[in-house]
Amino acid sequence: MRIHVAGENALMVYFADTVSDATSAQIQHTAQGLAQHLGDVLIDLVPSYASMLVLFDPLKTDHIHVRKLIRGAASHPQVEQDSQQENIVRLPVYYGSETSPDLAHIAQNAGLSVEQVIEIHQQTLYRVYAIGFAPGFAYLGETDARIATPRLATPRKKVPKGAVAIADRQTAVYPAPSPGGWNLIGCCPTPMFDPKGTPAMPVQAGDAVQFYAIDKDEFFALGGTFDAWGEIE
């Protein structure tokens, strides 16, 4: 673990150089240990792929004290329950042709059938590595290497809310309409960000996510719609 200065009120903790489930678990464990200081000397935490940004109030504490808090939280013995308590969130996806403009392209690239790509996308238990880009946007990884696909050369001006997408070995659900360059393979009717909801998101960093296919009737029953999909090319 390396701790770097990031700013006057921020330390960056690097847990590893690469992404792994073990690193993700370690980040969550440290975040949980530090959470008790939030609202007091700490003002926010930003867990990400292999790091965590720790923001503190520089008028209440200093970086030397915060380093101690971080090391303390990280070295606190990991209770075995930590891993057993893993939260698995299951998200429904409609993979039909109406909401999957890039599926054929991914299948062709991979030398697979569309059905195989859909199957492979559901087989992986994904990890929520980070939340950012936009409110409720959860970066999930890693996809099976066979369906990894680079971003579109030209991003779309408007990706519909709920779009399930792949970029390289990452997958995500767009929480709100936004510009985006990821490959679209389906639509998830579960809201990923509801400002009025408690919690506002169905997932948090460190959770596991599994996608499961639903048919058109189930998609509509769960509140899904094709409304914004007609406009995209």
Partner 1 sequence: MSPSIQILNPGILTLIQDAGRYGQHSVGLTTGGPMDPLAFKWANRLVGNDQHVSALETTIGGLKIKVNSCTQVAVTGAEVSVKVNGQAKAQWQTLNLKANDELELGYATQGCRIYIAFASGLNIEPQFNSTSTVVREGIGGLTGKGLQAGDVLELNHETLEDSRWQLPESARPVYEDTVTLRLIPGYQEHHFSRHQQRMFFYHEYKVSDLCDRMGYRLTGPKVTCDIEGILSEGICLGAVQVPKDGQPIVLMNDRQTIGGYPKIGSVLSIDLAKLAQLTAGGTVKFEPITIDHAHNELALAQYRYRHQALVAVTSEEIK
- Which is nearer to partner 1, 133 or 220 (by Cβ)? 133
Q: Is 3 in the site for partner 1 (CB under 8 A)?
A: no
C-alpha dihedral (20, 159, 214, 108), degrees to nearest 10:
-70
Task: Quote the strand ranges of the chain, DSSP E.
Answer: 2-7, 10-14, 42-47, 51-56, 88-93, 126-131, 138-141, 156-159, 163-167, 170-173, 178-180, 183-187, 208-213
- Which is nearer to partner 1, 59 or 153 (by Cβ)? 59
219 vs 216: CA distance, rounded Å: 5
> Which ranges in 129-228 belong to alpha helices (H)?
216-221
Contacts of residue 49, defined as CB under 8 A and 6 or more positions apart, other chains included, come to 19, 129, 130, 139, 141
| CA within 13 Å, CB half, 163 | 30
Segment interacting with partner 1 (CB under 8 A) among 80-88, 109-117, 157-165, 200-208: 200-208
Using CB under 8 A, which residues numbered 91 to 130 contact partner 1? Answer: 130
CB 92 within 8 A of CB 212: yes
- Which is nearer to partner 1, 98 or 168 (by Cβ)? 168
Exactly one of 26, 28, 29, 47 binds partner 1 (CB under 8 A); which one?
47
56 vs 196: CA distance, rounded Å: 27
Exactly one of 148, 200, 213, 232 binds partner 1 (CB under 8 A); which one?
200
- Which is nearer to partner 1, 112 or 200 (by Cβ)? 200
Q: Is 55 in the site for partner 1 (CB under 8 A)?
A: yes
Using CB under 8 A, which residues numbered 157 to 186 contact partner 1? Answer: 176
- Which is nearer to partner 1, 43 or 120 (by Cβ)? 43
Exactly one of 131, 163, 188, 214 binds partner 1 (CB under 8 A); which one?
131
Exactly one of 96, 136, 162, 189 binds partner 1 (CB under 8 A); which one?
136
Note the residues at the interface with partner 1 (CB under 8 A): 4-10, 12, 18-19, 38-39, 43-53, 55, 58-59, 62-63, 130-137, 139, 176, 193, 195, 199-201, 204-205
